[in-house]
Amino acid sequence: MTGLLEPKAIGTDLRRRDGALKVTGAARYAYEAPVDNAAYAHPVQATIGRGRVTSVDTAAAEALDGVIAVLTHENAERLASTEDAELAVLQSGDVAFRGQVIALVVAETSETARHAADLVTVHYDEQEHDCVLDPDGELYKPDKVNPAFETDTAVGDVAGAMASADVTVEQTYTTAMYHNNPLEPHATTALWQPAGDGGDLTLWDSTQGVHPARSTVAEVFGLAEDQVRVVCPYVGGGFGSKGTPHAHVILAAAAARAVPGRPVKLALTRPQMFALAGYRTPTIQRMQLAANRDGVLSAIAIDVVEQTSRIKEFAEQTGVPTRTMYRAPNRRTTHRLAALDVPVPSWMRAPGECPGMFGPEVAMDELAEALGIDPVELRIRNEPEVDPDTGHPFSSRNLVACLREGAARFGWDERDPRPGVRLRDGWLIGTGVASSVYPVHQMPQSTATIRCEDGRYVVEIGAADLGTGTWTTLAQIAADALAVPVADVQVCIGDTAYPMASVAGGSSGMITWGSAVVEAAHAFREKFGDDPADGDEAEGSVSENPMAERYAMYAFGAQFAEAHVNADTGEIRVPRLLGVFAAGRIVNPRTARSQFQGGMTMGLSMALHETSVMDPRFGHVVNHDLAEYHVATNADVADLQAHWLDEHDDKVNPMGVKGIGEIGIVGTAAAVANAVHHATGVRVRDLPITLDKLLPHLP
Amino acid sequence: MKPFAYQAPTTASDAVRQVADDPDAVFLGGGTNLVDHLKLGVARPGALVDVTSLTSAEITERDGGLLIGAGVRNSDLAADPRVRERYPLVAQALLSGASGQLRNMATTGGNPLQRTRCVYFQDVTTPCNKREPGSGCSAIGGYTRYHAILGASEHCVATHPSDLAVALTALDATVHLLGPDGERTVAFGQLHRLPGDRPDKDTVLDHGDLITAIGLPDLPMARRSTYRKVRDRASYAFALVSVAAAVDLDGDAIRDTRIAFGGVAHKPWCATRAEDALRGQTAGVDAFRAAAEAELADAAPLEGIDGGNAFKIPLLTRTLVAVLRELTGVNR
């Protein structure tokens, strides 16, 4: 690959181009799509954990003034494809989990739809359900883990190394069930216009990818892709839960097809989102570490148990980061799944890396303590020269630099390693560290066009902005690729009317869409030179990066946390959280800082607050709203700092970027857990860390 | 949500008559609890009778204490200089609850009448004796982290969520009522009830009784008072446990004390046993702990899918000790 783009607009902290629209309320979200005469849909959910609907009595609902239709499995349209069981809505009376949609009311107002949904009476043939993740229960080995990693890997003899090592750590760690909980609920406005060649479906959907959503919907309904348009200029957060269409998108489209010519709006309520919009599986991680007295690892192993739904597999790749982090001659990673009568799990910010860097990074802290070696130093001593998994060199790997820079900024060198000895004003004080990692993902397809209009450059690509800054950062990339001022670039995204773009997932957006924009810019200049005429247009697509076969490509980071634990009550506060990241070139420091800090806040939230409480008697998450499912609030976040190294990597892509949307959440929970241990001497291995787990051990 | 009528009478007595005459009508104050319940289908009234502007929104001097109109918003009550100086526990309790936006809406009369809180009560797909008498209690054997350890019954283990009510219980405030038969008062400690076999009834009020004001007594020791709320995040969370306390000290001797607990029972818990144990004692950590243990002698923690709530016993003990250390300045 030739040299990187010369950064002019790249690296400047431009304000968000969509900022004013958002703070003034002028930005329209999916539910606010500008349509006339909308009808409103509200789902009816199953109240059993498993079984069959024997009858649905819709008479009372249909009798209600303003009710247009009640769709059930008996009268709903037969879908062309039911291959994806999550999307095969209203196709049979089978109930696979509590909260599954078994009917849909369409009415003149949202209030009427909701009222009518309450009036639908359902009778069931109920069967016993199983919603408990039990590591000793029935488990199976999936063929692959998300998206296509080997399920198990093994090198050498872990058991032998454990038996002969100077020091070992063998512990089990657990992470909870988590729900993505974007502030904007999952919402779709759908319009079916039967005229034309078989009809057209327009979806204003809150999605992380308009083109992937279109493909899915077209397949489910048996439509040609050009019969479906998906529009989504703005997203109020997704965190992976809007990366694939869930049942409500199909429901909205089916409702629209039942009332042709009339737009239908459907927004999930917050409790509905806990059953219908994906979530992160709970994980059970058995860790083994073996080391000599100098802290050099001879073995590292992680055996993961997690859940999926009985009707659709999602295998979170929790063991995968352990394959790459540290050098050790003997290595093992495994994944086993329990298929349960639970809602369908899916992507949540850094699937794999986020939960999968909790157990290993706490285990490293336990090993450091057992050896009497500083935890920063222990990580440095186990830095690999090449990727332990593939044997390839790293395109760039600056974990050690992140650890050292973070330690210096945090004041780590003054740290007294003894746990539980610092009491100030009634609070026990401690500090902890953990590493972060996230792979460089480039999606195989994305295309951009660039057109000259009135002397300006219009860039079109169906990319998404989840609040991440795409409206702004793609303009910066285009400006530098065209060698023009960023003010001369207009970006158009979020619509399948623009060229095909991949999903905003795997922190791949800037890498993939940015590469397409750079290709389009090069094609444009090649074709039209530096003085183009109005209407000149060129197209470019991302192409496979040959370096990806020869190099391991990852972003790394180090996170430092200070924890205060109230000596009377066990209340936990984290007054300081500091991350240093090496993630290639940073396109926009302002939006990048927001990404890192958002990820770290979500990691803090995972450490202390978040847990979806599944009641096995009923089969649903009972704390299914934001009053009961706690996420970190402003008061929980104090001195939160994200820094980054100036990392030059000319192998990853022409911009030199690695993707930053997810790495901020990776390792945070371990850093906090390690800090809580340093504060109190109590090792909490099960998230979240709550005061009841500390109380019995406080003085 | 079931459709309902909205009525806006112009006097409090008209409002009382409208509710008293219609078993399906309820009062609407700030709506911060009722409106949630309407949306969830937990409350299904036929009519809402708006009383937000029908009672006083003033705080006035009365018999050495303060009379707080039922229409006073929580945010205004917490900011009142007289309340902050003479009853700091009231201001602290209010500011530890909800969010700024909710406190701007919530009223003094409505806050104590929040329904008890329980995820199963709020979920119409699960059995709940409070919502549907006789259907069973889902919390028993379920998610019990926020549930009772004192005064619960086999029919209900929910807790009362109001922070203000805990402070008012400690102060022994007075509830001024207007009912179909005229005005009367009830001691604040008598307002709420334990669930027994009627968990559907949170208070002793009759249908149509309207709180018009809350009276704070002339209580000098309340100047040395505090409200300590222990919760799972720094703000915007209900109490795991809370303590409202005031102390009257003579040197190191405890002349008198007022203590109430939140987050542990179906009602704000008046800790009379702890008060009795402390009265006349020399302030000291052992005496504080003994007082907590006396109050919690009958505590009955719940098992549950989340590990149960037995942690509340040591947590409340330690919190009361910490509060009394702070109020007395005695750390030994």
Contacts of B32 in chain A (CB under 8 A): none
- Min Cα distance B125 → chain A (Å) is 6
Contacts of B307 in chain A (CB under 8 A): 692
What integer pLDDT is reported at residue A195 of this predicted model? 81
Query: Sheet containing B25-28: which strands, arranged edge to edge?
Result: B5-7, B47-50, B25-28
A11 falls within a domain: no
Q: For residue A65, give the chain B residue with the closest CA.
A: B3
Evaluate whether A309 touches A315 at the Cβ level (below 8 Å): no
Nearest to A481 by CA among A587, A341, A337, A614: A587
A491 falls within a domain: yes
Q: Are both A91 and A206 inside the same structural domain?
A: yes
Q: Who among A426, A573, A695 is closest to B314 (CB)?
A: A695
- What is the torsion angle, in degrees rounded to the nearest 10, for the CA atoms of residue A215, residue A216, residue A221 and residue A227? -20
What is the Cα–Cα distance from A253 to A229, expressed in whole angstroms? 12
Work out the number of other CB atoms within 10 angstroms of the CB of residue A304: 30
Work out the number of other CB atoms within 10 angstroms of the CB of residue A408: 11
Contacts of A426 in chain B (CB under 8 A): 322
CA A64 to chain CA centroid, Å, is: 41
Name the pTM for this structure.
0.98
Q: Who among A571, A622, A630 is closest to B230 (CB)?
A: A571
Evaluate whether A192 touches A38 at the Cβ level (below 8 Å): no
Do residue B318 and residue A568 have CB atoms under 8 angstroms apart? yes
Q: For residue B125, give the chain A residue with the closest CA.
A: A47
Do residue A111 and residue B234 have CB atoms under 8 angstroms apart? no
Contacts of A61 in chain B (CB under 8 A): none
Secondary structure of chain B in the HEC alphabet? CCCCEEECCCCHHHHHHHHHCCCCEEEECCCCCHHHHHHHCCCCCCEEEECCCCCCCCEEEECCEEEEECCCEHHHHHHCHHHHHHCHHHHHHHHCCCCHHHHHHCECCCHHHCCCECCCCCCCCCCECCCCCCCCECCCCCCCCCCCCCCCECCECCECCCCHHHHHHHHCCEEEEEECCEEEEEEHHHHECCCCCCCCCCECCCCCCEEEEEEECCCHHHHCEEEEEECCCCCCCCCCEEEEEEEEEECCEEEEEEEEEECCCCCCEECHHHHHHHCCCECCHHHHHHHHHHHCCCCCCCCCCCCCCCCHHHHHHHHHHHHHHHHHCCCC
What are the residues whose beta carbons fall under 8 Å from the beta carbon of A109, sequence distance 6 or more?
A40, A66
Task: Among A514, A544, A574, identify where a domain stops.
Answer: A544
Query: Sheet containing A423-424: which strands, arranged edge to edge?
Result: A423-424, A427-439, A554-566, A572-582, A639-644
Contacts of B234 in chain A (CB under 8 A): 573, 633, 635-636
Contacts of B143 in chain A (CB under 8 A): 613, 615, 622-623
- Min Cα distance A677 → chain B (Å) is 18
Do residue B234 and residue A635 have CB atoms under 8 angstroms apart? yes
Task: Among A506, A521, A544, identify where a domain stops.
Answer: A544
Do residue B235 and residue A634 have CB atoms under 8 angstroms apart? yes
Q: By percentage, how much of chain B surpasses pLDDT 90?
A: 98
What is the Cα–Cα distance from A226 to A124, expressed in whole angstroms? 40
For A517-569, the pLDDT digits (tens) are: 999 999 999 999 999 999 999 999 999 999 999 999 999 999 999 999 999 99
Second-level CATH architecture of B5-49: 2-Layer Sandwich (3.30)
Evaluate whether B39 touches B45 at the Cβ level (below 8 Å): no
Q: Residues of B at the A interface (Cβ-Cβ below 8 Å)?
A: 1-3, 41, 119-120, 122-123, 125-126, 138, 141-143, 230-238, 240, 305-307, 311, 314-315, 318-319, 321-322
What is the Cα–Cα distance from A576 to A580, expressed in whole angstroms? 13
Nearest to A697 by CA among A417, A367, A420, A363: A420
Work out the number of other CB atoms within 10 angstroms of the CB of residue B3: 10
Contacts of A571 in chain B (CB under 8 A): 230-231
Q: Are both A391 and A401 inside the same structural domain?
A: yes
Q: Which domain holds residue A476?
A: 19-28+443-544
What integer pLDDT is reported at residue A234 of this predicted model? 98
Q: Is the dihedral of CA A289, A290, A296, A298 positive or negative?
A: negative
pLDDT above 70 (res B310): yes
- Min Cα distance B41 → chain A (Å) is 8
Evaluate whether B150 touches B143 at the Cβ level (below 8 Å): no
What is the Cα–Cα distance from B34 to A693, expressed in whole angstroms? 35
User: Quick one: pLDDT band at residue A111, thresholds 50, 70, 90?
Assistant: very high
A7 falls within a domain: no
Whether A115 and chain B come into contact, CB under 8 Å, resolves to yes
CA angle B204–B210–B213, rounded 5-degree value = 100
Tokens standing for residue B263: 């987050």
Residue showing tokens 């905003």? A504
Domain count across chain A: 3
Cα separations in angstroms, B181 against B13, B29, B201, B202, B206: 10, 21, 20, 21, 11
Q: Are both A117 and A230 inside the same structural domain?
A: yes
What is the Cα–Cα distance from A692 to A155, expressed in whole angstroms? 40
Nearest to A690 by CA among B313, B145, B150: B145
A375 falls within a domain: yes
User: In this structure, what DSSP letter does residue A140 have?
Assistant: B
A13 falls within a domain: no
A139 falls within a domain: no
Nearest to A134 by CA among A342, A289, A287, A331: A342
Evaluate whether A76 touches A91 at the Cβ level (below 8 Å): yes
**Domains of chain B by residue range:** 5-49, 58-332
What is the Cα–Cα distance from B87 to B266, expressed in whole angstroms? 24
Contacts of A95 in chain B (CB under 8 A): none
Contacts of B305 in chain A (CB under 8 A): 613, 615-617
Contacts of B319 in chain A (CB under 8 A): 568-569
What is the Cα–Cα distance from B127 to A539, expressed in whole angstroms? 60
Q: Who among A47, A616, A620 is closest to B305 (CB)?
A: A616
Work out the number of other CB atoms within 10 angstroms of the CB of residue A401: 15
What is the Cα–Cα distance from B299 to B271, expressed in whole angstroms? 12
Q: Are both A107 and A214 inside the same structural domain?
A: yes
Do residue B120 and residue A622 have CB atoms under 8 angstroms apart? yes
Task: Among A513, A544, A575, identify where a domain stops.
Answer: A544
What is the Cα–Cα distance from A47 to A129, expressed in whole angstroms? 12
A1 falls within a domain: no
pLDDT above 90 (res A1): no
Evaluate whether A475 touches A4 at the Cβ level (below 8 Å): no
Tokens standing for residue B293: 């243990």
- What is the torsion angle, in degrees rounded to the nearest 10, for the CA atoms of residue A96, residue B120, residue B131 and residue B299? 150
Work out the number of other CB atoms within 10 angstroms of the CB of residue A259: 17
User: In this structure, what DSSP letter does residue A345 have?
Assistant: P
Whether A118 and chain B come into contact, CB under 8 Å, resolves to yes
Tokens standing for residue A349: 């910010």
What is the Cα–Cα distance from A254 to A511, expressed in whole angstroms? 35
Whether A548 and chain B come into contact, CB under 8 Å, resolves to no
Residues 19-78 of chain A whose Cβ lies under 8 A from any Cβ of chain B: 45, 47
Q: How many CB pairs under 8 A join A and B?
A: 89
Nearest to A499 by CA among A525, A483, A523: A523
Asked, colleague to colleague, whether B5-49 and B58-332 share their fold, the answer is: no
Nearest to B177 by CA among B293, B38, B12: B12
- Min Cα distance B81 → chain A (Å) is 25
What is the Cα–Cα distance from A464 to A268, expressed in whole angstroms? 21
The residue-averaged pLDDT of A245-263 equals 98
The residue-averaged pLDDT of B26-32 equals 96
Nearest to A42 by CA among A140, A97, A111, A113: A113
pLDDT above 90 (res B1): no
CA angle B84–B85–B89, rounded 5-degree value = 55
Residues 574-633 of chain A whose Cβ lies under 8 A from any Cβ of chain B: 608-609, 613, 615-618, 620, 622-625, 627-628, 630, 632-633
For B190-243, the pLDDT digits (tens) are: 999 999 999 999 999 999 999 999 999 999 999 999 999 999 999 999 999 999
* Residue of B114, B119, B319 for testing the chain A interface, max A β-carbons within 10 Å: B119
Helix (H) or strand (E) holding A565: strand A554-566
What integer pLDDT is reported at residue B2 of this predicted model? 87
* Residue of A48, A97, A622 for testing the chain B interface, max B β-carbons within 10 Å: A622
Q: For residue B304, give the chain A residue with the closest CA.
A: A615
Residue A305 belongs to a domain with what CATH number?
Answer: 3.30.365.10
For chain A, what is the mean pLDDT? 97
A138 falls within a domain: no
What is the Cα–Cα distance from A228 to B39, expressed in whole angstroms? 34
Q: Are both A121 and A214 inside the same structural domain?
A: yes
What is the residue-wise DSSP string for A162-201?
A: HHH-SEEEEEEEEE--B----SSPPEEEEEEE--TTT-EE
Q: Which amino acid, one-letter code, is at A441?
A: H
Contacts of B263 in chain A (CB under 8 A): none
What integer pLDDT is reported at residue A158 of this predicted model? 98
* A662 assigned to active site: yes
Whether A124 and chain B come into contact, CB under 8 Å, resolves to no
Q: Are both A522 and A537 inside the same structural domain?
A: yes
Do residue B311 and residue A692 have CB atoms under 8 angstroms apart? yes
3-state secondary structure of A491: strand
- Crossing angle for the helix pair B88-95 and B164-171, to the nearest 10 degrees: 160
Q: Who among A115, A615, A695 is closest to B315 (CB)?
A: A695
* Residue of B124, B125, B285, B316 for testing the chain A interface, max A β-carbons within 10 Å: B125
The residue-averaged pLDDT of A603-631 equals 98
The residue-averaged pLDDT of A255-265 equals 97
For A302-354, the pLDDT digits (tens) are: 999 999 999 999 999 999 999 999 999 999 999 999 999 999 999 999 999 99
Whether A570 and chain B come into contact, CB under 8 Å, resolves to yes
Q: Is the dihedral of CA B82, B85, B86, B88 positive or negative?
A: positive
- Min Cα distance A114 → chain B (Å) is 6
Pairing mode, strands B65-69 and A94-95: unpaired
Which CATH fold would you assign to the domain B58-332?
A: 3.30.465
Nearest to A490 by CA among A442, A456, A461, A536: A456
Evaluate whether A566 touches A451 at the Cβ level (below 8 Å): no
Q: Are both A353 and A370 inside the same structural domain?
A: yes
What integer pLDDT is reported at residue A197 of this predicted model? 72
Residue A41 belongs to a domain with what CATH number?
Answer: 3.90.1170.50
Q: Are both A231 and A320 inside the same structural domain?
A: no
Q: Are both A217 and A87 inside the same structural domain?
A: yes
Which residue intervals of A483-575 are DSSP H helices?
Answer: 509-528
Q: For residue B1, give the chain A residue with the closest CA.
A: A115
What is the Cα–Cα distance from A175 to A359, expressed in whole angstroms? 9
A633 class by beta-carbon count within 10 Å (0-12 exposed, 13-18 middle, 19+ buried): middle
Q: Are both A452 and A599 inside the same structural domain?
A: no
A132 class by beta-carbon count within 10 Å (0-12 exposed, 13-18 middle, 19+ buried): middle
Q: Are both A65 and A39 inside the same structural domain?
A: yes
